[in-house]
Amino acid sequence: MKTTYLNKWVLLAICWFTASIYFLFFKASGNPVPIPQFDKICHLGLFFGQFWLLAKACFSANITIPQRLFIITAISWAAASETIQALFTTRQGDIIDAIADLIGAALALWLAQHIQTARRYSSKEKY
What is the C-alpha separation between 32 and 39, in angstroms, rounded?
10
Residue 2's pLDDT is what? 53
pLDDT of residue 110: 98
pLDDT along the chain (127 residues), means of 10: 74 96 82 82 96 96 94 97 90 91 98 93 70
Q: pLDDT at position 95, please?
A: 95
Query: What is the Cα–Cα distance from 27 to 29, expressed in whole angstroms?
Result: 6
Stated pTM of the model? 0.87
pLDDT of residue 29: 67
Residues 6 and 61: beta-carbon distance below 8 Å: no
Per-residue pLDDT at 1: 44
At 27 the pLDDT is: 77
| Residue 40 burial (CB count, 10 A) | 17
Nearest to 105 by CA among 13, 28, 4: 13
